[in-house]
Chain A
Amino acid sequence: MSSLNKSPFLKIFLSYVPFIMLFFSVFNEFDFNYLKLDYFAFNFVHLLIFFWTLRNPDQLGYLAIFFAGIINDVVIGIPVGISSFCYLILCSVTAYIRNITLTPNFMKDWISLLFTILLINSIQVIILDLVFLIKVDYTNYLINSGFTFLFYPIFFLFFNFLNERISYQTND
């Protein structure tokens, strides 16, 4: 009976939503990082990749994440490959967490996100500052990491709702 409520179009569309959101946020100016508010910035892409590669990795392929990183680098103007590398490090952490976790727990995910974003932002700063000699604002990175961590619960609710809708549409 429930399968009668399932539309094939909705099924396909919903399964592509994480992918669309990822590419929209790396291509578009409006990616929440740049709300032009002083001391306010967070990285939506990090949250998106963290959630989907942790909870439903089938919806977001590593190859797509790699290309999204390349696009992000070109649009922002930093040396090509750095964002891809950082995004894939994020994916490896989520893959590791997935392997060692039997029952997913929101609090554990949230704490691991903090360590992961601190790690990948540190890697990015080290590559930009020490290898490419591009000056970066450490405060901005720290603020960005802080807000990204704080905003995870809000986006978790949204992504989780979406994930449930996708699961409902795809499971018979």
Chain B
Amino acid sequence: MATGRDDFVIAIRSAFLKKKDKQKFSLLTLIVLSIFVIVLSNFNFKAIQFVKLGINEVIYRSSHIASIPENKLKEITLKFKSHMDLYESLQKELIKIENSDQLKLQNEFLTAENKKLRELLDESINSQEIFARVLIDKDSPYLKSVVLNKGTKDKVKIGMAVIDDVYLVGQIIEVNYTNSRALLLSDLNSKIPSVLEPDDIQAVISGTGSDYGKIEHTQEEFREDFKNKEIFAYTSGLGGLFKPGIPIGKINNISEGKINFFSDFTQLNYVKIVSYKIGGEE
């Protein structure tokens, strides 16, 4: 019995402390080092922040370069697919253009009217847009985020909205000198204050880790009110981070509170990082 325990202890000790010919460090040293790194990354000292920024800068750029061949392959596949579907998509687009011409005129009038009314209330919205390219879109099963090629150098700040065309895709959660990371709406940790139109109901849209979101923290009876209606979700602007009225998605299954996002997060190439201010506020 004692011999068995001794063997176990010897095997464990040998596994952690013994170095093979080509190993420069023992496992124990490196495990202690990694625990030290985890603990250290929790502190917000200036020196640690600088080291973190440096590591992020180098690794994001290297990862972007390493993924060039794969991105090219993806691009070619997409081009080939779109070429094959050309006729079908053209027919669909023609119908869309016809409808959108009518909507555009209506929209222009409403936008001008809205702007005038906001100016009267001193609530006019001034937004600033920064165009950014997606460097890494590593669609991890654990964290849904993208790395963008704009950082503090371009006045990007944590919390700014990230928009694809006119649709909200996420918000900035980490900023480095030349790049930043945006958390996508689909991530489990994403919570966006929103308004459900046309009934004007406040809600929070949470990510699920999949390609759809979920409505949370809203009225109990909202499901009854929304039956047989087309419901769209927009940012409410209540958190003070996002401009009100940015389209987020369309409710797909009212009984489960499922919402389909307008933007396809797997196809993001270029996005806009948006900051805004209302009226004369700083």
Contact = CB atoms under 8 A, between A and B. Distances in A.
Contact of B138 (A34, A80, A89, A98): A34
Contacts of B23: 57, 61-63
A80 B15 contact: no
B166 interface: no
Contacts of B30: 62-63, 65-66, 84, 88
A10 interface: no
Interface string B50-63: 00100110011011
Interface in A80-99: 80-82, 84-85, 88-89, 91-92, 95-96, 98-99
B38 A33 contact: no
Given A66-B33, A140-B141, A30 B56 contact: no
B38 A127 contact: yes
A71 B140 CA distance: 14
Interface string B28-42: 001101111110111
B141 A78 contact: no
A74 interface: yes
**Contact residue range for chain B?**
35 or more
Interface string B116-148: 000000000000000000001111111101000
Nearest to A38: B210
B174 A80 contact: no
A92 B138 CA distance: 29
Interface stretch (A103-111, A112-120, A130-138, A153-161): A130-138
Contacts of B35: 81, 85
Contact of B143 (A71, A77, A88): A77
Nearest to A43: B141
A24 B66 CA distance: 7
Most chain B CB neighbours (cut-off 10 Å) among A63, A88, A89, A140: A88
A100 interface: yes
Nearest to A35: B139
Given A76-B140, A140-B142, A62 B59 contact: no
A34 B20 contact: no
B11 interface: yes
A134 B189 contact: yes
A29 B136 contact: yes
A54 B33 CA distance: 22
A134 B34 contact: no
Contacts of A66: 25, 30, 33-34
A82 B42 CA distance: 12
A135 B189 contact: yes
A149 B221 CA distance: 45
B155 to A, nearest CB: 22
Contacts of B7: 100
Contacts of A164: none
Contacts of B209: 137, 140
A1 B37 CA distance: 51
A81 B39 CA distance: 9
Contacts of B210: 38
Given A27-B66, A29-B70, A85-B34, A58 B27 contact: no
A70 interface: yes
Given A30-B70, A70-B37, A62 B15 contact: no
B114 interface: no
A38 to B, nearest CB: 8
A18 interface: no
B201 interface: no
A100 B24 CA distance: 23
A27 B139 CA distance: 13
A41 interface: yes
15 contacts: A29-B67, A30-B67, A34-B138, A70-B55, A75-B59, A75-B138, A77-B145, A80-B37, A88-B30, A92-B31, A95-B15, A96-B11, A96-B15, A134-B189, A136-B142
Interface of B: 7, 10-12, 14-16, 18, 20-27, 30-31, 33-38, 40-42, 52, 55-56, 59-60, 62-63, 66-67, 70-71, 136-143, 145, 174, 181, 188-189, 209-210, 266
